[in-house]
DNA sequence: GCTCTCATGTCAACTATGTTGACTTGAGAA
DNA sequence: TTCTCAAGTCAACATAGTTGACATGAGAGC
């Protein structure tokens, strides 16, 4: 599932820069890894991984979401969702129940255990972000967010 | 290999924020996707994908790198490197030759075709970054880099 | 009541990216 | 000549995704 020592061993490699913006590309890559490293480690200890966390994260923020809506938010196929979702249901981190009036769709919710794991995993990620923002101050944080929004909304 | 329409269809979902820093987590996620979307698309058209690009990117910046060193920089196993690397050699995007004095290791280099593909794929990523930086100005860009460095060096 | 649609569930086959473990090969060094 | 080291290769496996095909069960329309 993961390999702490090996993944952690990958520090920022020093590569010659062919273009001015190469540093930015590498910062995106290592930034993503830096943010997710501890969370993935924690998840691996729980026998879970990134896709499980994505499901938990979304359901935490959209309680009673239907499976179809979850598929849309995650951007994966029904079949790809199936296995991680069933694992979360078996492990009782999620519950699914039919809606009272809309019997067609199943509504998903986190159990207390699911909430705990979602929160702890996300806390690892938030901790990394908080530390970086503290160093940067309010104006640096605002600038970071503005740049990230521009990158995210590019497509 | 990829699915343009489907991946592009995944826009930023609006999720309730349970914590102040949730927006930052989502910006990291969608930022990574925003930066890599067009590059991955281009690579898919060439029958390549992200691991191939990573190899090409590193070899471009470390000409005559040995396979063992490449494994270290990429942080993957020899066996995992094997298939994408052989594809790049077969497609003549990379060359490998024995060192003149150090016959043990093979030295990797990009061919002209390999350089072209590496450059075009990275250009897609740099374009996204350049546009975001232009909007943010020099000070915003500097702030973004400072925050990303803090995130990347967290581990 | 009968049929049609729609959300969900499930099976199979496939691709890609990664892992470990075990073993070979070929060159250089002791 | 033997030892070591870089590289290559084979098997088995895990995970994360894809399409396609088909089943089921509930509501809605006629």
The mean pLDDT of chain A is: 89
B16, B62, B72: residue with CB nearest A62: B16
Q: What is the pLDDT of residue A2?
A: 33
Q: What is the pLDDT of residue A134?
A: 97
What is the rounded distance in angstroms from the CA atom of residue B127 to the CA atom of residue B112? Answer: 22
On whether any CB of chain B is under 8 Å from the CB of A144, the answer is yes
Q: Who wins on pLDDT, A13 or B5?
A: A13
Give the full edge-to-edge strand order of the sheet including A94-98. A65-66, A106-110, A94-98
Task: Say whether A151 and B31 touch across the interface (CB within 8 A).
Answer: yes
Chain B: residue whose CA lies nearest to A32: B28
Task: Say whether A146 and B155 touch across the interface (CB within 8 A).
Answer: no
Strands of B92-140, DSSP E: 94-98, 106-110
Low-confidence winner among A11-20, A141-150, B44-53 (lowest mean pLDDT): A11-20
- B16 interaction partners in chain A (CB closer than 8 Å): 61-62
Nearest residue, CA→C1' of C25: B104
pLDDT tens for A91-125 read 999 998 876 666 678 899 999 999 999 999 999 99
Q: Please, what are the domains in chain B? A: 20-152 (1.10.10.10)
Q: What is the pLDDT of residue A104?
A: 73
Q: Is the pLDDT of residue A19 over 90?
A: yes
Q: Which of residues 28-47 of A touch B (CB under 8 A)?
A: 28, 30-35, 37-38
Give kind and range of the element (H or E) at residue A48: none
- A154 interaction partners in chain B (CB closer than 8 Å): 34-35, 37-38, 128, 131-132
pLDDT tens for A33-70 read 999 999 999 999 999 999 999 999 999 999 999 999 99
Question: Which of A122, A101, A127 has its CA nearest to residue A110?
Answer: A122
pLDDT class for A75, splitting at 50, 70, 90? very high
Average pLDDT for consecutive 10-residue bins of chain B (155 residues)?
A: 37 86 96 95 95 97 93 94 94 85 80 96 97 96 97 82
Q: Work out the angle at residue B153's Cα, subtended by the Cα atoms of residues B147 and B155, and round it to the nearest 5 degrees.
A: 130
What is the rounded distance in angstroms from the CA atom of residue A24 to the CA atom of residue A28? Answer: 6
Q: Which of residues 76-115 of B touch A (CB under 8 A)?
A: none
Nearest residue, CA→C1' of D8: B82
Q: Is A3 helix (H, G, I), strand (E, B) or coil?
A: coil
Give kind and range of the element (H or E) at residue A64: none
């Amino acid at each position: 599932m993961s390999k702490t020592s090996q993944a952690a061993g990958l520090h920022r490699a020093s590569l010659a820069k062919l273009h001015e913006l190469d540093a930015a590309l590498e910062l995106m890559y290592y930034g993503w890894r830096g943010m997710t490293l501890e969370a993935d480690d924690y998840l691996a200890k729980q026998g879970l991984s990134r896709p499980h966390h994505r499901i938990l994260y979304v359901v935490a923020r959209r309680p009673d979401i239907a499976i179809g809506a979850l598929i849309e938010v995650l951007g994966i196929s029904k079949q790809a969702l199936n296995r991680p979702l069933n694992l979360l249901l078996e492990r009782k981190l999620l519950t699914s129940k039919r809606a009272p009036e809309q019997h067609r769709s199943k509504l998903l919710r986190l159990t207390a255990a699911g909430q705990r794991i979602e929160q702890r995993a996300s806390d690892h990620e938030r901790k990394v972000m908080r530390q970086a923002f503290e160093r940067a101050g309010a104006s640096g944080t605002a600038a970071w967010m503005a740049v990230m929004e521009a990158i995210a909304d590019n497509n």
